Structure 1
Amino acid sequence: MSIITLTTDFGTKDHFVGAVKGAIYSELPDAKIVDITHEVSPFSITETAYILKNSYKSFPKGTIHIVGVDSELSDDNKHIAIELDGHFFVCPDNGLISMIASEIQPSKIVEINIHDRVESSFPVLDVFVQVACFIARGGNLTVIGKEISELKKIVEIQPKTNQQQNQITGGIIYIDNYGNVITNISKKMLKDIGKGRGFIVHARKHFFTKIFNKYNEVVSNESYSNQQYEGHKLAIFNSAGYLEIAIYRSNLDTVGGASTLLGLGYRDAIIIDFIDDIKPDFTHLT
C-alpha cells in the first residue's frame, strides 16, 4: 500500500482536493491518502516549505508527497520529481524544497517531461497524480523526466550573519493558527553563531533577552494562575527548532496573537545581536 500526501493552497470549498483524491484512487485503489494541509496561504512558497519540512519526516520512508502550491507550468517554474531522505516529492521547482535540501541533498532530481502528452491548467490533477502513481508502482524517476542537478533556491528562507558574526538577520516565514510568528532562525544557528554569548532578539519595537523551553515557563510566579499570564509575549524555540515569537495562551478571537498584538507580519525582519557582557538566558541550547 502506497502512502501519498497532499499539501496545497486549494482550500476545501472547491472541488480541487476531491478531484485529486478521486484520480489517485482510480489509479491506485489501495492507496492511503493523507492531507497535510490545504490551507497554505495562496501561492506562499515559504509557508509551504516550512510546513513540508516539519511534516514529511513523520511519514515512513517511501512516502510520496504531492505539493500543489504555485504549480502552474512555465519556463521559470518547471515540474520536478525528487528522491530525498528516502521520500519522494512531486512539485514545482519554485524553491519550496530549498528549506529541506539545504540540510539534506537529494538522491535524484528529474524535470518531468510528460507535458508533451498532457496539456493542463490543473497540473496537480493531470500531471502530479500520474507521476505519483507511477512512482508508487515502483517506476524509476528517469523514465518520466531528465535528470538535473540543481534546484531553485529561495534566498529569503535562509537567515544571514554579518561579517563579524555578532548579528543574525532573519525574518518571519510563517504565522500559525494561534497567531504565533515563526522565524527562519534555528536553534542550531543561534548556538553555532552565538558561541555562548548573550543576545537581544529584536522584533520591530519589541525585544527579548530570554528564550523559553516551553510556553508555560513564562509563568514564573507560582502564586499566580496561568490565566493571569495570558497575553504575555515570549520567545521560544518551537518543536520544529525555529525561533518563535508568541503570546502565552493566545486566542485570535479573544486575547489575540503575536502577529496582531505585536504588529508582526510575514517577511518582517527579526534581528539577534550578540553581546559578550550579557549572560545568555536559555537552558536548552545543548
Structure 2
Amino acid sequence: MHDMILPDPRGGIRTRMDEYGAMAIATLLTDFGLDDYYVAAVKGVILSRAPEATLVDVSHQVPPGDVETALFLLRAAAPCFPPGTVHLAVVDPGVGSDRRLLAVAAAAAVFVAPDNGLLTPWLERGEVYAVDRPDLYRRSPGRTFDGRDRFAPVVAALLAGCRPAELGPRVDDAIRCALPPPRRRDGVLSGRVVHVDRYGNVVTDLPASWLGGGPFRAEVAGHAATVRVGCYAELGEGEAGVLTGSLGTLELSLRGASLAARWGVERGDAVRIVLESDHGSDILRHEDPPGAEE
C-alpha cells in the first residue's frame, strides 16, 4: 500500500486529501447484511449532512463480528480509491461499550472504525486519533447502533471538510490484530488462508514470488495441488491448481466448482507448499522480506 504523507506547516502531518479540498467519496464496509435497514440508515445520516458525497459499498456481507475478514477486504479495496477518500468500516462486536472510535489519516485517506484491530495495517502509516466529538453524534434512545449515531456523523464531518486532527486527541495505543506472517524454511512455505471468495477460490497470504519456477506440492485441509497456471481458464475441468491472484499472493482454485467447498477449506486454515526444486528455493531465499524466515 503506497503512502502519500506530507509535512504540514501547521504541525503534524497532512495527507494528500488537503490538496483536493473537502473529501467527496466514502466507502462503507460492514457486517450489517442487506436484510435490515441498517445500511440505508447509515447512508441516510451521511447524505443528510454531506449531500454531495459519493458513497461506495465495499461489502455488507462480512460475517458478524469477523474483524479479520473486514481487515482483509478493506486492505484489498482501499488502494483503488483516489486520494482523499474516507473509508468507514463498522464491524463492531463491542458496540455500545467504552471501546474507542478511531480516525486514522494514512495512505492519502482517512480510515474510520472501532478500536478493535480492524485498522491494524494503517496504524503505523500515519496519525491515529481517538474520536471525541459528542457534538457531532446523533441523539439516540440506546447505544445499539453506533454505526448510524456516531460513525456516520464523523464520516459526514470529514466529507464536509473537518480535519482528522479536529476529531480528538492523537493516540499511540490502538488495538492491533496479531496476524502471523507467512514463513519459509528449508524449501517449505507456510502460510494460511486469509479469504475465500464467492467462487470458492482460496486466497492465501503467501507471496506469489516465493513459489519460484520448479515443481511443488501445495497442501491445505488434507488435499494437495501440484499444477500452476496463469489464469483460471488454463485449468482442466475439475482440476485444482495454484495461481497468482489479483493481490499478488498465491490462490488455489478448482475449475468449474468451489475448491473451498469441495476440499472443506475455511479462512484461517494452514497452507503448506513443499518446493521440490533446489533452484526454486535459491530464487526464494534472495527475495525474503524481513521476518519471513524462521
**Band the TM-score falls in, shorter-chain normalisation:** 0.7 to 0.9
Distance verdict in 2 for CA 1:46–1:36, change over 3 Å: same
- Residue number in structure 1 paired with 2:166: 143
Q: Give the distance between the partners of 1:93 and 1:165, measured in 2 at CA.
A: 38
Larger CA deviation: 204-213 vs 112-121: 112-121
- Contact 1:112–1:145 (CA<8 Å) still a contact in 2? yes
Correspondence for 2:201: 180
2:71 corresponds to 1:49: yes
**Aligned AA (1:202):** E
Q: Specify the alignment match of 2:290 in structure 1.
A: none
Match of 2:231 in 1: 214
1:239 Cα shift? 1.0
The 8 Å contact of residues 31 and 61 in structure 2, kept in 1 or not, is answered as yes
Q: 1:12 aligns with which of 17, 28, 34?
A: 34
1:143-163 CA-to-partner distances (Å, cap 9, x unmatched) read 21211235433223x43426x
Deviation for aligned residue 1:278: 7.0
Q: Does 1:155 align with 2:139?
A: no
Instruction: Could you list the structure 1 runs, at least 4 aligned residues long, displaced by more than 6 angstroms after superposition.
Output: none
Which residue does 1:259 correspond to in 2?
Answer: 260
Cα deviations by residue, 1:5-51 (Å, 9 ceiling, x for unpaired) = 11111111101011111101110111111111111111112211121
User: Quick check: 106-115 or 24-33, which moved more?
Assistant: 106-115
Corresponding residue for 2:189?
168
Question: Secondary structure of the equivalent of 2:157?
Answer: helix
Q: Which residue of 1 aligns with 2:248?
A: 241
1:186–1:216 distance in 2 versus 1, CA, 3 Å: same
Contact 1:159 1:169 in 2 (8 A): no
The worse-fitting range, judged by mean Cα deviation, of 197-206 and 58-67 is 197-206
Identity percentage of aligned residues = 29
Q: 2:169 aligns to what SS in structure 1?
A: strand
TM-score (norm 2): 0.77
Aligned residue number for residue 204 of structure 1: 221
Which of 119, 133, 146 matches 1:114? 133
Deviation sequence 1:264-286 (CA, Å, 0-9, x none)? 11211101233444768xxxxx9
Matched, 1:123 2:124: no
Aligned: 1:35 with 2:57: yes
The one-letter amino acid paired with 2:112 is: V
The secondary structure found in structure 2 opposite 1:146 is coil
Q: Distance in 2 between matches of 1:51 and 1:246?
A: 19
Deviates more, 1:147-156 or 1:16-25: 147-156
**Contact 1:46 1:174 survives alignment (8 Å):** no
Aligned to 1:283: none
Match of 2:82 among 50, 57, 60: 60
Pairing 1:81–2:103 present? yes
Q: Give yes or no for contact 1:246–1:258 (8 Å, CA) kept in 2.
A: yes
